[in-house]
Structure 1
Amino acid sequence: MPPLVYKPLSQETSEIRILWLLPGSGTSPIEVRLEHVPFESAGQLQYEAISYAWGPPEDPGTINMKTTSSDIISTLSIRRNLYEGLQQLRLEDGERALWADAICINQHDLEERGQQVERMAEIYKTAKQVVVWLGRADDAAGIAIRLFNKIASNVEFESQSDRIVCRSPAEEDHWANLELPLPFDHTEWAAMRSFTSRPWFSRLWVWQEIVQEEVVFMCGRYQLSKAIMELVATTVSRKLKEPLKVDVINQCADITKILMTSALLTLQSYIDMTEEAQCSDPRDRIYALRGLVSPSECIRDLAPDYTKSSIALYRDVVLKYLSAAGELNLLSECSTRRHLSFSDTSSIPTWIPDFSRPALTRLIFGARSCWMSTAHAAVLSYGERLRTKGIVFAAVASTEPTTIDTENEWTVATALAIQRLCTPRIQETYMNGQTMSEVLCRILTANFMTDVWATHPNPEAPDIVEAEEYLHLLCDRPQSVGHALSSQQSSFLKDVYIALRNRTFFTTTDGYIGVAPESTRAGDEICIILGCQTPLVLRSDGRGNREIFGKCYVHGIMEGESLLGPLPNGWRRANKYSRQHGADWPVFVHNETGQLMTEDPRLGDLPPGWKRESWDRDHYVRYVREDGVKPEFPDKDPRMTCEALEARGVKFEDIVIS
């Protein structure tokens, strides 16, 4: 039979194709038919959307395409994993309405592909159910699914406290107690490792495919609900007493991020969360996230265009956020070494991030060096240079490698690196009056500490008090390296291990310390760019411009001190979970009274002609004009514009980035 020739979809009615899987069983040929339906009425067909990994092109399967009169008119070659999924999904006595991208989208028509990709998030949300096809089952899958059900029957998630607890006062406390290992033998852990390593879990597109609650996971004939997958993955990922099972724990942590996706975060948050996820087309690093981000994110308006190069797309994304949101936060995703994936790096401006590769360094949590400021920037010279407004805060005086010796076990190697970096400094007092032990703990983890949350601290973050105690132990008693670790000590070492990856320790000419990309060297500049929340390391290109070398953590300027001065005595900035936004938002906490403020106490009164408007049920406000004219950037603070800050005495300069 001839291969399938797709009939074009109608754009007037926003058509999609529904795949009708015809009855069959066993190894009998797979027969299907395609139906064009307007998207707005597709939900009436009660279709199910399949989420799966495409897999390698070798050994494809062939399906028979039929008409409503049951005549076989053509065939379609599909990859083996989807073919086996359809075999498992088909019914013996009736048709099944499905949607699968490899079949329902003409993959050879770039225009149609872009149009359908733009609609994919809604296609999955509208489906009666999403079926996650993990592949054929093997013995390991059977063991792993039994263990998943076993764990789920013994624990539950307590949402108010963000804790895993036993379902009843069980004698077997090892299920929920983070200090106790799970009672699995080598074979069972190997099965868990095999199951959580299946290709689906590493795909980028799946993040937007399972946002809805009606999701079932299928592995051969086995099934698991989304609720069980989420509960078990969260439980295992928090087990810090499983040092030999770190790969499974990390895999479960990644699964948890996928399953607990909130369609309310920023593009940058999702870029950081999905950087290890896999996709075959580098442009999908952006397109696969469009359906996930907050409705207010301007990236939702960027229609997929597969005729555009990845470099052109990444440039457009930066400029889209600059023009539509007054932001340059994506500059913190730039790094000169990250551009190695581009074929010719000499002509690519360093202000264009390369999203096709994982970042060299970990996200700096909660950086607010110029929170709610409005970018003041423009593109020069046919798009090659970006002129920004900012301040050159300090010059780097010296650097010290943070290298963690990979020949040692990771906890030992990390502890030794901490000793080497901190022992010469720990007895000092930092320039802002803080103890050096606190400053070092925050620098070593890029400030990933429990006290940066005003409520419901992240259970995976170390406690600052216990971290300081352990730091003193390591520096005062070198022989303590290699001793048994508490869960808090393990947590601290894990976060230091991650935070120091590809970073160097540095000191500025005026005594500030921090961590920066390992390519940083003496003479580089620490700069604050309006509209970018994280300080950047810049270097002269010898032509009057500067190049971006990456983001950095500088203790003492991460809360906006370089623009607004220090916080009033007794106040600190923290994060509070916003129920409406599904994300952390900054608040200001008084250490003695516990009073919370959603506005920075340093900012003072609003400019004439502005007023506050309640934004959400968490009492955050946005700023609107009294004359009713819509602000150009509604999410920005009028007290944090270039002009307003200059009126406070801040001296900006043009910083041109090449």
Structure 2
Amino acid sequence: MSSAHDEWRLFKAAFSRAAKPDSDSGDSEGDLRTVAPLSPDEYRYSSFTGEDCIRLLELQPGKHLDPITCQLQEVRLDDCTGRYAALSYVWGPPEGAMRIRVNDGSLVIRSNLHCALRNLRHADRPRTLWVDAVCINQSDISERNAQVPMMGEVYRNAACTICFLGPKRKTTRALYAMLEDLAQEARTLHAEGSIYHDMDTLPAFVRHVTINPVKSELFHKYAGDFSIMDMAACEWWHRAWTVQEILLSPNVLFMNGRYTVKWDTVCLAVDHGINLQIWLPISFGFIMDLSIVPYLSMRALMNRRSHSFSAPTVPPSGSSARDLLHFLTHCRHRRSADPRDKIYAVLGLLRDAHSNAMASGTSEGLDIKLDYNHPVVYVYRKTAQTLISKLDSLEILGTVPKSTRRALPSWVTDWSISLPIGSPLTKDSLDRDRPTHASKHTNANAQFPDDGVTMILRGHELTSILELAGTLSGVDFEDDDDDDVPVETGSHNHPEQAGDGQPNSSRHWKPKLLKMVGNVMKNTFQQGRVITGPSTSMFGTLFAWDRFSATQPATNPSSSSSPPSSSDLDSAFWQTLCAGTYKNDDVEKTRALYKSWSDSLQPVREFMEKHASTHDRLPEIAFAKFLANSWESYSEFWPYIACAQHRRLGRAANGWLCLLPEETQVGDCVVLVCGGRVPLVVRPDGDGYNMFVGEAYIHGIMDGEAFNAEACSDIRIC
């Protein structure tokens, strides 16, 4: 487990580096205003002569500030394998658009692409590229509908895919050198059998990263070097289409300015850096660093794909529908200018895993077609309806956020929302499939009337919501694009690794902690407030939940026939808090983790209760007490409350303690429905219809204890 002592070492190393002068000359892209004006004659696209044709862009040679000129030519896709490089990039904002020469006319492109072409251009010879914004007539919907499904094959057939992250920055040269350094050591250790480097253990969610600790002198060389954040902060990581572009390409290069590094090298380096704990995905035991989530999700999808190729006769899930839900869930945090692309951008991956996924009339075929003529609401509703019908379950309901999109049914996921939401309760807090089933493994058999709005399920009401506590908001670390403020992260699994010459003993923490609270918070006050304010607010919510549960004994069903004891009453609270997540399936071991975690927060609890006004003005004091009590190690229980984040605690009319969706209101109903692995919360409208609110965890009824098939009737949700 990591500790406050480990965080201090990284703070110290970061400030030591910040004090050193930067010798890099910075951005050398040149002044775009010096580009000569071009003729405004608009290039006119010609229709393709065949269905299997694409256009390739031949970038003409020139000096760095010369106007960009290129030639477009039509070729058959099968005839150009390995003859071009595919470009993966971010379109960027429309401001600052510029013209380039294309054949005998000109086209307007955005500044990000213009910067990429300037850096990709050779001085003495042409370069052949495939660039979606130029090679596809973006104003022709029919052409887009035909060309976009071919993009997977375009990236597969390319000699390489170049992921352009942006212009050279002050840190680029040193960053790329560090990546090569770390990757080389990782290769050496892997060859010697000294490092476990099968990244199959990396899930898509940062809270559950498995760290395989190693020791190396590179830790001392790079500790406190957070230049990797310049790469992680690039918008490219958050673009919906980049997953397909990188996963389907046989050879991938990352590029900043004219600096390049292989994707395989990036993976080796970042994985090794995490194992060395130069970069730590979790700060202070519970603050997530969101900047690493896109990388981890990419790695998880790579592993899933590699498994399918290593055993081609055994699909990773056995179902195209389940894989589609997996891809959509793992890519939910990504963004796209066109909301429909949140669906369309993963269809290439789906076809790669299941060749018949888009073929109608087959068992694998899904009734989802890429068509930009369809409105967003139709695309999202059709996707949800198809997944519910094909899977015959309601798993997709765990991905539904609050949406204000007009005409979107409440049971349909608005995939355009990329902000963090509560994790699906069909998995536990450690991202493991939940073994229980609240409706006794029944099938959904959902009905969808022709109104295009209603979903009809079979189920029955259990109770209604009587009282609610506050929402447990997540505390996340996001890059704020401030190059002067170092961003530090932490992890859950951290061995003792001496780096400052001091023994890891509690008698050494006081002067260092005071110095950290003084100097560090003084120098990074704004960043510190971003951390300590939400963090102690999270503590306050947890303590309020504890008090809320104690005001009335929980009546959740128990497997014991004897009257509940005081420990049973406490058990309902902590098992609700962790949403039934257990260490090695052992309830008592998990109870011990909870008790230790609760005890570690006691000094913070006492301070916040006795000095409420002081805490409101100076939340750093409460946070310092937390760090002092965690100097040796952060609690192992922190990741067990992941399911509770972005949710609220509540009490039902029958006395049950419940973990509920953030949007729950008093009077909402808890129902069990066929096909539902977990209880659902709905809001009746008084006319026989209901609005879907979200999933719930209610200890004691998660494995069918309260489900009654004979009591089921139609529940209409719209």
Q: Normalising to structure 2: TM-score of the pair?
A: 0.66
Kept in 2: contact 1:515–1:552 (CA 8 A): yes
2:630 pairs with 1:485: yes
Instruction: State the one-letter code of the partner of 2:397.
Output: L
- Rounded to whole Å, the distance in 2 between the matches of 1:216 and 1:245 is 34
Kept in 2: contact 1:548–1:657 (CA 8 A): yes
Aligned to 1:170: 216
Aligned to 2:508: none
Kept in 2: contact 1:540–1:547 (CA 8 A): yes
2:295 to 230, 234, 255: 255
Q: CA deviation at 1:107?
A: 0.2
Which secondary structure state, in structure 2, belongs to the residue aligned with residue 320 of structure 1? helix
- Rounded to whole Å, the distance in 2 between the matches of 1:309 and 1:94 is 44
For the structure 1 residues 146 and 441, does the alpha-carbon distance in structure 2 shift closer, same or farther, using more than 3 Å as the test?
farther
1:376 to 445, 449, 468: 445
- Rounded to whole Å, the distance in 2 between the matches of 1:122 and 1:532 is 38
Bigger RCO of structures 1 and 2 (CA < 8 A, at least 6 apart): 2
Q: CA deviation at 1:139?
A: 0.5
Summarize deviations over 1:86-115 as a string: whole Å, max 9, x none. Answer: 222233444333211101110000111122
Kept in 2: contact 1:22–1:31 (CA 8 A): yes
Kept in 1: contact 2:438–2:705 (CA 8 A): yes
**1:221-260 aligned within 5 A:** 221-234=258-271, 240=280, 243=283, 249-260=289-300
- Rounded to whole Å, the distance in 2 between the matches of 1:120 and 1:161 is 27
1:443 to 554, 571, 576: 576
Kept in 2: contact 1:415–1:493 (CA 8 A): no
Which secondary structure state, in structure 2, belongs to the residue aligned with residue 279 of structure 1? coil
For the structure 1 residues 164 and 520, does the alpha-carbon distance in structure 2 shift closer, same or farther, using more than 3 Å as the test?
closer
**1:557-636 aligned within 5 A:** 557-563=701-707
2:122 pairs with 1:91: yes
Aligned to 1:280: 337
2:681 pairs with 1:537: yes
Q: CA deviation at 1:429?
A: 9.7
Aligned to 1:102: 133
- Rounded to whole Å, the distance in 2 between the matches of 1:172 and 1:411 is 32
Which secondary structure state, in structure 1, belongs to the residue aligned with residue 348 of structure 2? coil
**1:174-193 aligned within 5 A:** 183-184=223-224, 188-189=225-226, 191-193=227-229
- Rounded to whole Å, the distance in 2 between the matches of 1:494 and 1:361 is 14
- Rounded to whole Å, the distance in 1 between the matches of 2:408 and 2:474 is 34
Summarize deviations over 1:249-302 as a string: whole Å, max 9, x none. Answer: 421232221244245563333333333322111111211122234528668652
Q: CA deviation at 1:211?
A: 0.5
2:378 pairs with 1:306: no
Show structure 2 runs of 5+ residues with no match. 1-38, 187-194, 202-209, 306-315, 317-321, 358-363, 428-432, 476-528, 560-566, 607-624
Aligned to 1:474: 601
Kept in 2: contact 1:52–1:133 (CA 8 A): yes
For the structure 1 residues 146 and 438, does the alpha-carbon distance in structure 2 shift closer, same or farther, using more than 3 Å as the test?
farther
Kept in 1: contact 2:597–2:636 (CA 8 A): no
Q: CA deviation at 1:196?
A: 1.6
Aligned to 1:581: none
Which secondary structure state, in structure 1, belongs to the residue aligned with residue 142 of structure 2? helix
- Rounded to whole Å, the distance in 2 between the matches of 1:17 and 1:355 is 31
**1:401-420 aligned within 5 A:** 401-403=470-472, 408-420=532-544
Aligned to 2:60: 22
Kept in 1: contact 2:456–2:715 (CA 8 A): yes
**1:53-64 aligned within 5 A:** 53-64=90-101
Aligned to 2:29: none
Kept in 1: contact 2:603–2:626 (CA 8 A): no
- Rounded to whole Å, the distance in 2 between the matches of 1:152 and 1:439 is 47
- Rounded to whole Å, the distance in 2 between the matches of 1:552 and 1:147 is 46
- Rounded to whole Å, the distance in 2 between the matches of 1:404 and 1:322 is 29
For the structure 1 residues 290 and 490, does the alpha-carbon distance in structure 2 shift closer, same or farther, using more than 3 Å as the test?
farther
Q: CA deviation at 1:197?
A: 1.0
Relative to its length, the structure with more strand (as a share) is 1
Which secondary structure state, in structure 2, belongs to the residue aligned with residue 158 of structure 1? coil
Aligned to 1:508: 652
For the structure 1 residues 242 and 274, does the alpha-carbon distance in structure 2 shift closer, same or farther, using more than 3 Å as the test?
closer
Instruction: State the one-letter code of the partner of 1:225.
Output: K
**1:630-645 aligned within 5 A:** none
Q: CA deviation at 1:233?
A: 3.9
2:247 pairs with 1:211: yes
Summarize deviations over 1:44-84 as a string: whole Å, max 9, x none. Answer: x4322111011122223333223xxxxxx222221121122
Aligned to 2:403: 339
Q: CA deviation at 1:430?
A: 6.2
Q: How much identity, in percent, do the aligned residues show?
A: 24
User: Which of 210-219 and 249-258 deviates more?
Assistant: 249-258
Instruction: State the one-letter code of the partner of 1:251.
Output: S
- Rounded to whole Å, the distance in 1 between the matches of 2:331 and 2:200 is 26
Which secondary structure state, in structure 2, belongs to the residue aligned with residue 139 of structure 1? coil
2:390 pairs with 1:353: no
Over the aligned positions, Cα root-mean-square deviation in angstroms equals 3.7
Aligned to 1:632: none
For the structure 1 residues 405 and 98, does the alpha-carbon distance in structure 2 shift closer, same or farther, using more than 3 Å as the test?
closer
User: Which of 411-420 and 51-60 deviates more?
Assistant: 411-420
Kept in 2: contact 1:387–1:657 (CA 8 A): yes
Aligned to 1:630: none
Kept in 2: contact 1:431–1:511 (CA 8 A): no
For the structure 1 residues 405 and 113, does the alpha-carbon distance in structure 2 shift closer, same or farther, using more than 3 Å as the test?
closer
1:291 to 325, 348, 373: 348
Show structure 1 runs of 5+ residues with no match. 67-72, 176-181, 454-461, 564-645
Q: Work out the number of aligned pairs and report it.
A: 540
2:468 to 399, 416, 422: 399
Q: Normalising to structure 1: TM-score of the pair?
A: 0.72
